Amino acid sequence: MPIDQDEFRNALSRFASGVTVVTTKDAAGKFHGITVSAFSSVSLDPPLILICIERATVSHYAFEESGLFVVNFLSDRQLELSERFASPVEDKFDGVDFSFGEFGIPILLGSLVNLECRIRNIGDGGDHTIFIADVESATINDGDPLLYFRSDYRQMAE
């Protein structure tokens, strides 16, 4: 018998994670960004990572259209960005500090890390899609991460 959905959520909420905002753009050049905690490193050689994007999100199609995305690891000073990119805001990038990387996709300034990624593999992940991608470049900054645990934001203990 499959696990009860509430129990499943409850169990998974006890897995602590960082928080990312993944940005991309669609074929018409419109920018998209989603708060994503379903991020994982996959391989060192070649350098691969994965993200899981819910099929029902507005931005889902944009990942397939561009084949490219940027993973921005949020710092503990970017909680508002996490909230913003997890909400149905008309223009999520309005008032947000960003620059452009090699792919012409927004790179959120003030993040701990920005990974520029090219999609290699698209997999079935139930109500999510698993995008496995090659990491083509990384920008690395100092700071502490924004954390997520038991459905709430946390900060590193000093």
Identify residues 67-86 at the interface with ligand FMN (CB under 6 A).
82, 85-86
Asked if residue 93 binds ligand FMN (CB under 6 A), the reply is no
Instruction: Concatenate the DSSP letters of all residues of 43-71 into one string.
Output: ETTTTEEEEEEETTSTTHHHHHHH-EEEE
CA dihedral 99, 36, 88, 109 (to 10 degrees): -20
The tokens of 132 are what?
């496995």
Among the listed residues 23, 24, 35, 111, the single contact to ligand FMN using CB under 6 A: 35
Among the listed residues 24, 25, 31, 37, the single contact to ligand FMN using CB under 6 A: 37
Among the listed residues 58, 90, 95, 158, the single contact to ligand FMN using CB under 6 A: 58
Asked if residue 112 binds ligand FMN (CB under 6 A), the reply is no
Stretch that binds ligand FMN, among 28-36, 65-73, 93-101, 109-117 (CB under 6 A): 28-36
Nearest C-alpha neighbor of 16 from the set 40, 42, 41, 37: 37
